A and B are shown apart, each in its own frame.
Chain A
């Protein structure tokens, strides 16, 4: 039996943590993710979970302690946002290359500056090459469901990599919306017990974690890590299938909305996708064939699969909520455009910068974007520079 209720995205993730009952959670507070460790601390005080909470003095320490616990052989999680993730930077790479199946709740917020607390993907996008799996959510339901699937993906023997479960700061983390929760027992059976193959506290198998590797070993270790990331694609799909058997919820590497016959498609990540769906319904009523490809999994990057799903489109708008300051667009734009080229998809493309520092995106803004795509396909519009959506002109 499912439980229909209402809660914020942060509460939803906290509820997932309650059902998983992880062994260790070191964390340091930072807006907008602060509520997650707060809720967990309350659950511990109320005896609802027996997680060991470690208050630490910084995010560098939070990730280091999470790593230590995970290496010791237990389920370890943490939560952070923005500059907190930036302060973890060094340890993010160590955690991934040590092949530790850590799960982190990341509530996306822009990196400073200007100093701002609102939704942006510059934090997680900055960490896109750190070796972490990244899964994004459109709403509280997806943040909850994704978190429930994270341990199964991270701990799979073909993967053994840390996972970041991302949602948009404030837009979903602090918005109270309807949600369906799943009963404890089937979820506990789905998540299962964690029995690591190798771990530091195994007295029968003395081992070192994170030692120096000379050049003749380092490259092979990196290739093995890259292979694990590639393996993650199938594991994510397999875990999603099992999750669907338990809950009826369907998840893939990405979601297509009215995409199959779309002439003009937008590709985006996160909460904006709900707004895009409303704009698509409005335009479809007028007979315009528009669609959405919502990226759920950014790492591993499903480039081939996305190119295949987009190959029939006349024009594609690729939306980025993070500047790369490369002069060449944002991370999703750069990577998807490369994937389209490799797959010989010759649709017109434009990379669109939107929603930086929480800049609001309305249904009307998305209708404007689809208008651009129509004009691009007709040869009536060409962007010399990647456009900023909703940029004030005065």
Chain B
């Protein structure tokens, strides 16, 4: 009997394993200065810590504060050789909802994936702007999260946490542990910044909501 349960457990784990994508491709849309590129590079960093092969890279134009920018992540169990931009992402993150008017954020986005939008607006206002996208839609009010935890608006920190959660590229507990380690290193002389960032990450994991 015990053996049967062990098999059942093994089967469930294998099933969970199968659900993980071999290659996860993520596209970030933001405005220059909001940290979308940093978020992409941080995501590559934590995925590397979790033992994955990673690629995190920005697409550069005439960058300036406020201009739309794009950044990308590839996260894979196998070495990554391709060096092109991502046209059919599994997930998209939109760090600034004003981009929904000017950028085709769901272009090529897979329907079995999802889009994460940082907004203070309601689902009723946002969903009609996504051109009938059939996949999952997640909303996060990063401003609210930031003000409650950091007292300043750095949307990339909560967006990073929310992306880890919705994409399932790694376990959220392992993610929090890795982030604590790297933030401790980064803000060795500013422990108060570490605490605020950790709170922002945790709150974002709770606050991100699936609305479709």
Contact = CB atoms under 8 A, between A and B. Distances in A.
Interface in A140-183: 168, 170-172, 174-178
28 contacts: A6-B45, A117-B60, A118-B60, A170-B58, A171-B57, A172-B83, A174-B57, A175-B55, A175-B57, A176-B41, A176-B45, A176-B55, A176-B57, A177-B54, A177-B80, A178-B79, A271-B83, A272-B83, A274-B80, A274-B81, A274-B82, A274-B83, A275-B81, A275-B82, A278-B82, A361-B83, A361-B84, A362-B85
B87 interface: yes
A358 B85 CA distance: 11
Interface string B71-91: 000000001111111010000
A363 interface: yes
A171 B83 contact: yes
A128 interface: no
Nearest to A115: B62
Contacts, number: 62
A32 B57 CA distance: 13
A312 to B, nearest CB: 25
A10 to B, nearest CB: 12
B53 A178 contact: yes
A360 interface: yes
Contact of B60 (A5, A6, A168, A170): A170
B163 to A, nearest CB: 16
Interface of B: 41, 44-45, 48, 53-58, 60, 79-85, 87
Interface in A342-376: 358, 360-363
Interface of A: 5-6, 32, 117-118, 139, 168, 170-172, 174-178, 271-272, 274-275, 277-278, 358, 360-363
Given A6-B54, A118-B60, A170-B57, A176 B44 contact: yes
Contacts of A139: 81, 83
Contacts of B44: 6, 176
Given A6-B45, A6-B54, A174 B60 contact: yes
A2 to B, nearest CB: 15
A319 to B, nearest CB: 13
B178 to A, nearest CB: 13
